[in-house]
Chain A
Amino acid sequence: MLTKLTGGRIYDPTNNMDGQIGDIYIAAGKIIKPPQNAKIDKEYDLKGKVVMAGAIDLHTHIGGGKGNIARMLMPENHRLDVESHTAIKRAGTGHAMPSSFTTGYRYAEMGYTAGFEPAVLPINARQAHMEMGDIPILDKGGYVMLGSDDYLLRMMTANKDQQAINDYVAWTLHAAKGIGIKVVNAGGINAFKFNQRKLDLDENNSHYNVTPREILKSLATAVQELGVKHPLHVHGSNLGVPGNIETTLNSIAGVEGLPMHLTHVQFHSYGTEGDFKFSSGAAQIAESVNKNKNISLDVGQIMFGQTITASGDAQLQYANHKIASPNKWVCMDIECDAGCGLVPFKYRDKNFVNALQWAIGLEIFLLVDDPWRIFLTTDHPNGAPFSSYPHLIRLLMDRSFRNDMLSTIHPEAQKMTTLASIDREYTLSEIAILTRAGAAKITGLVGRGALGIDDFADITVYTENADREKMFSKPDYVFKDGECVVKNGEVIKVTWGTTHIVKPDYDKSVEKNLEKYFSRFMTMKLGNFKMSDDEITEDGRGSITVHPTVRH
C-alpha cells in the first residue's frame, strides 16, 4: 500500500521545513523516499493544507491508579459529558478525567498521536500500562516515579555510591517499563508519612536525613549516566505555595548543569508580592531557563472551569485539600513507594489567585525564548483537561484574542501581570516544535515528531484558519503509522499504538539486595513485582518499542 499526501504546506522543524510545499509518500507505516514509477494506491490532495507530524503530549495523566480514583470520585463530572458507542468506537465519558477509550479518541481527534503518563509508581506500573493499553490510537509511555521510595532513601542514608543508585534506577526502569524517571516533591511524599507537612529544598527528611536537593542531584546524575534521553522529570518541591519561585530557582542551581525537565512550572513560579501576597515569578523563571541550557520545562497552563487535580504529591495535595471544590478529596500513602492526592478544583476567572495563575502560565510560554525547551501542557487534568489545547494554542498565537481574554479576568490580577505588554505570537513552526519536534526530541523518541524519510507516518493535516482554536480542534486527517485514523475531526478507524520504553544496561547483581528488601519489607516477591514484556503485548494489541540509551 503506497499513499501519497500531495502538495501540503509542511511544518517539520526537525527537517527545516517551515511551510514549504511538498509531497509525502507512505508505505508500511513509514515515510519513504519518492518512489520511481510506483503505483500510488491512495492519494490525498492537501493543497493549501497545513501538514505537521502527529502531536505528542509529554506530560498527561492518562494511566494509573490515581487517575482512576479521580474518575471514581467524580461521577457527577461524567454525567455532563458522555460518548455513545458507534460502529467502531466504544462508549465512554469525560470531562475532567475521561475514560480510557474516550481519551484516545479525543486526543486523536485533536491531531495527537502520543501521550506520556508522567507518574508511574513502580508498584502501580501494571495498572498504568493496563489503562494505557485501553487507550486506542495513541502511542504511550510513562516516567517511573522515584525519590520518595524508601529503598532509594535508605541507599542515600547509607551513602551508597552513585553507581549503585544508577543500577537501582535502571533496574526500576526495566521492572516498571518506563521511558524516563520522574521525581515528585523529592522526598516530600515520604516525609509526609513521617508527619512532616512540608519539606523545603534543603530540609532534611526527619527519618533519613536526606534533603530534596540531594535527591534531585542523585537522580539527575543517574538519568544522565545511564544515558536515558529524557532528562530527570521534576515536579518540584512546594507546589502551589506562594514564594515557591525561590525553590524552583534553587532547584535549577541545585542540579549543577545536569539535564533536568521541570514540569508544570506554572505551579512553581509564584512570588509573594502585592496586596494579596501572591505574584508572578514568570519573568525570573524565564530568565533562568533562558540562561541555563540544561533546563527544559512544560508549563501546566490552567484554564478556567471545573477539573480535578491528580498528583503523586500526597504531601502538598493534603495541604491543598481545604480548597477542594466540590468538597471531597482523597490522599493515599502507597506501599513504601510513593503516594497520591486527588483534589477536585474549579478555576475561576474572577478569583484573583486563579486569574493570576492563568496569566503566569501564559507569561512563561511567552518569555522563554527557546521553543525546543518548552512544551505545551495543562498537566492534564491538573490545570485543565487536555481537550483545552486548541484554545491554549490560540492564546499563544493570537495576541488580540489573548488580550481580550485578559481583560475579562479579575482586575487585580490584570494589574499584577505583564501579559498585556508582551507582543509575542507563536508561529505555526514554533507550535510544531512545542507539540511535535521538541517533544519527540526531549522524550528520546526515535522516528516520531518529524516527517523525514524513515520516520513513522504519524501525520496531522489541518485547514488553515485565522481562528487557531478552530483550526487545531478539527484536523482534516490524522495518520497513525500510515493509516488514516481521523477524517474531519472524527475517528474513522481504531488502531493501537505502541508503548515506548528504555532498557538501560545495569549490573544484575543489584537484585541481590533488592530481593532481600522485598522479602523482608514489601508485600510481594521481587519476581512478582517485575513486569514482563508480555504483560503489555499478550492481548494482541499492545507492542513495545525500546529506544536507545547511551551510557556516559
Chain B
Amino acid sequence: MRVNEITETTKITEVPSPFCGIGTDDLSIQVDGESLQVIENGCRINTPNFEQVITDRCPRIKGKDVSLEMAVAEAANLLKDTKQPVIGGCATDVNGMRALMALADKNSAVVDNISFKAAKNNFLALQDSGWMNTTLAEVKNRCDLFVIIGCDPEAFAPRFFERYCWNQASMFLDDTAQREIIYLGQPPKGNGSTSPNGKLATTLACETHDLPEVIAVLRALVKNQRIMTDTVAGISLVDLQALADQLKTANYGVVTWAAGSLDFSQAELTVQMICEMVKDVNAAGVRCSGLPLGGKEGDQTANQVCGWQTGYPARMHFSRGFPEYDPYLYDSQRLLEEGEADALLWVHAFNTQATPPKTNVPTIVVARSGMVFEQEPDVFIPIGTPGIDHAGHAYRMDNVVAIRLKKLRDSGLPSTAEVLNAIEQAL
C-alpha cells in the first residue's frame, strides 16, 4: 500500500495496535484523509487512541510557533553543555528508541522509561533468581488453569480474555470454556473473565498489601510445608491448599501478575516469590509458567532496545561514557526532585496524557501531537504516532513478539527517530 496515494476513504484491515500491550492485530480502520475511525474490533483503549485527532503540527519554543529546524537547534542548544541530562518517558517504537539511545550515548544522558518503577519489580526478581515464563499463544492453546495475582487482565487490556482465554479453537484444550480462572487478591470489576457458558471466575479475596503473606503461604503449600494457621489475610487455608493442589495437577498452569499493581514497598520480593513458586511446581513434576502482565505503549520496546544496545534495561546512564545500570539511582523522578539533573528530554509518542514531571530544569518535550502542559516546556516538538503516522515495530507484553506497525495516513508529522536523530546531529 502506498499511503501517499490515499486520497479518499480507505479501509485498512489487520491493523496491529501498540496501545493495548496484547498485540491486538485485527482492527479495521477507516481512513478518511487524516481522520481515522475504528470500524471493527475496537476497544476502550485502542479506539480512542487511534481516533484521536491531530491538534499540534507546529513545534514551539517557549510557547511560540517555530520551524522544526529551529526547535531542533534549540533542543540541541539546551542539551549541549549539560552535566547530567535525563531522557525520560522513552515510549516510542524501535527506531525511535534506537535514535534515543544514540542521542543518550552522545550526550552522556540518563535513560529512564516511564514505567520502570513497575518494571523494576520484575527486573530485580529476574536478575536475582530468574523465572519460567510463557507467551500468549501458549496461554491460548494450553493453559487449563489461569491464576491471576493482584491484577485484572481485563482492566489492562479489554480484549485479553476474548483473545487468549475464550478463543473458540484451541490445539490442546477440548473446550476453552472449561479453563479454571482464579483471582488471588481483589475480584475483577468486569465480566471478561466469565466463561462463554457463564462460569464465573473464582476469587480468593485479600487486600493487595496482604499478597506477600498470602503468596508466601501458597508457595509453602506447593512445597508441602505445614502451615500452623487456619486463615491467611482472610483466606482460609483450605482454599489456599486447594489452589496449591490445582497448580500441581493442572496440565499447564499459568500464573500472572502485574508488577505495577503490586503497589507496596519491596514488591520485587513478591514477584520473586511467585516466580520461585512456579519453579517449585515444575520441580514437583508438573508444568507451570509465569506470565508478567504489563508493558504497553513502548515499555517493552524501551527495555528490549536498551537491552541489546547496552546490556541493561531502560534505567541506565552514559554519564561516564559507558553504560551503567542501577534501578534505584537513575530514577529520573528522583534525579529531578533532588536537583541532580540539569535538563530533561521527555519522549512519548503514544499517549498525550503521559506528560513530563514538573521540574525547573530546561525541558524539551518530543511527544504525540496534542499533549497539553500545565507548564509549557522550553521546547515542544509534536511527533507522529508509530502505527498511525509511520510504520515501525513495537513489542508486545510477552516480550518475544515484535509487531510490525503500519502507516495508516500521511500526516506529515515527523517520527520520533527523525526528530531525535536531528537533535543528535545538531549536538
Say which residue of A82, A134, A331, A335 sits within 8 Å of B322 (CB atoms): A82
Contact A524-B403, Cβ < 8 Å, known A68-B304, A85-B106, A337-B137:
yes
* B105, CB-defined interface residue at 8 Å: yes
- Complex CA gap A351/B390 in Å reads 55
A359 to chain B, nearest CB (A): 30
* A513, CB-defined interface residue at 8 Å: no
- Complex CA gap A342/B403 in Å reads 24
* A521, CB-defined interface residue at 8 Å: yes
* B95, CB-defined interface residue at 8 Å: yes
What is the 8 Å Cβ interface bit string for chain B, positions 282-322, against chain A (1 contact, 0 not)?
10011101000000000000011001111111000010111
- Complex CA gap A244/B137 in Å reads 32
Verify A538–B311 contact, CB threshold 8 A. no
Contact A535-B105, Cβ < 8 Å, known A65-B399, A134-B309, A524-B403:
no
* A92, CB-defined interface residue at 8 Å: yes
* B161, CB-defined interface residue at 8 Å: no
Q: Which of A495-552 contact B (CB under 8 A)?
A: 520-525, 527-528, 531-532, 535, 538-539
Say which residue of B14, B126, B310 sits within 8 Å of A527 (CB atoms): B14
- Complex CA gap A388/B122 in Å reads 33
What is the 8 Å Cβ interface bit string for chain A, positions 134-164, against chain B (1 contact, 0 not)?
1000000000000000100010000000000
What is the 8 Å Cβ interface bit string for chain A, positions 52-74, against chain B (1 contact, 0 not)?
00000000000101011001111
* B201, CB-defined interface residue at 8 Å: no
Verify B136–A335 contact, CB threshold 8 A. yes
Q: Which of A122-130, A411-419, A451-459 forms part of the interface with chain B?
A: A122-130
* B409, CB-defined interface residue at 8 Å: no
Verify B135–A73 contact, CB threshold 8 A. no
Say which residue of B135, B169, B391 sits within 8 Å of A538 (CB atoms): B391
- Complex CA gap A528/B252 in Å reads 28
Verify B140–A523 contact, CB threshold 8 A. yes
Say which residue of A65, A71, A73 sits within 8 Å of B400 (CB atoms): A65
- Complex CA gap A98/B310 in Å reads 8
* B202, CB-defined interface residue at 8 Å: no
Verify B128–A328 contact, CB threshold 8 A. yes
Chain B residues lying within 8 Å of A195, measured Cβ to Cβ, are: 251, 285-287
**Chain A residue nearest to B131 in the complex (CB):** A330
Verify A93–B134 contact, CB threshold 8 A. no
Chain B residues lying within 8 Å of A193, measured Cβ to Cβ, are: 138, 142, 252, 287
Verify A73–B130 contact, CB threshold 8 A. yes
Verify B311–A98 contact, CB threshold 8 A. yes
Verify A91–B287 contact, CB threshold 8 A. no
Q: Which of B261-297 contact A (CB under 8 A)?
A: 282, 285-287, 289
* B156, CB-defined interface residue at 8 Å: no
Chain B residues lying within 8 Å of A150, measured Cβ to Cβ, are: 141, 171
* A78, CB-defined interface residue at 8 Å: yes
Chain B residues lying within 8 Å of A535, measured Cβ to Cβ, are: 393, 404
Verify B311–A78 contact, CB threshold 8 A. yes
Contact A336-B171, Cβ < 8 Å, known A75-B325, A521-B137:
yes
- Complex CA gap A60/B40 in Å reads 44
* B379, CB-defined interface residue at 8 Å: no
Say which residue of B130, B287, B309 sits within 8 Å of A100 (CB atoms): B309
- Complex CA gap A527/B403 in Å reads 11
Total interface residues on A, CB under 8 Å, equals 66
Q: Is the interface of B mostly helix, strand, loop or mixed?
A: mixed
- Complex CA gap A102/B102 in Å reads 14
Verify A336–B137 contact, CB threshold 8 A. yes
Contact A99-B308, Cβ < 8 Å, known A193-B287, A328-B127, A524-B403:
yes
- Complex CA gap A482/B168 in Å reads 57
What is the 8 Å Cβ interface bit string for chain A, positions 183-205, against chain B (1 contact, 0 not)?
00000000011110000000000
**Chain A residue nearest to B285 in the complex (CB):** A195
Chain A residues lying within 8 Å of B304, measured Cβ to Cβ, are: 68, 127
Verify B401–A90 contact, CB threshold 8 A. no
Most chain A CB inside 10 Å of its own CB: which residue of B309, B313, B318, B401: B401
- Complex CA gap A91/B123 in Å reads 22
Verify B391–A335 contact, CB threshold 8 A. no
* B98, CB-defined interface residue at 8 Å: yes
Chain B residues lying within 8 Å of A72, measured Cβ to Cβ, are: 123, 126-127, 303, 307, 311-313
Most chain A CB inside 10 Å of its own CB: which residue of B126, B135, B136, B311: B311
* B188, CB-defined interface residue at 8 Å: no
B210 to chain A, nearest CB (A): 27
Most chain A CB inside 10 Å of its own CB: which residue of B322, B324, B399: B322
B146 to chain A, nearest CB (A): 15
- Complex CA gap A83/B320 in Å reads 11
A448 to chain B, nearest CB (A): 25
Chain B residues lying within 8 Å of A82, measured Cβ to Cβ, are: 322-324
Q: Which of B99-156 contact A (CB under 8 A)?
A: 102, 105-106, 123, 126-138, 140-142
Verify A130–B310 contact, CB threshold 8 A. no
- Complex CA gap A329/B282 in Å reads 14
- Complex CA gap A523/B170 in Å reads 12
Say which residue of A71, A194, A333, A342 sits within 8 Å of B308 (CB atoms): A71
Verify A123–B310 contact, CB threshold 8 A. no
* B58, CB-defined interface residue at 8 Å: no
* B158, CB-defined interface residue at 8 Å: no
Chain B residues lying within 8 Å of A121, measured Cβ to Cβ, are: 400
Residue contacts A-B, CB under 8 angstroms, 10 given: A93-B310, A207-B172, A335-B400, A521-B141, A521-B171, A523-B135, A525-B25, A528-B404, A535-B393, A539-B98
Given contacts A72-B123, A91-B323, A92-B322, 16 further A-B contacts (CB under 8 A): A71-B311, A85-B318, A85-B321, A93-B323, A101-B309, A134-B308, A195-B285, A328-B127, A328-B128, A328-B130, A330-B133, A332-B135, A332-B289, A337-B137, A521-B141, A539-B95
> Would you list the 9 A-B pairs with minimal beta carbon distance, nearest first?
A84-B321, A82-B322, A93-B311, A335-B137, A520-B169, A328-B130, A78-B311, A126-B402, A329-B130
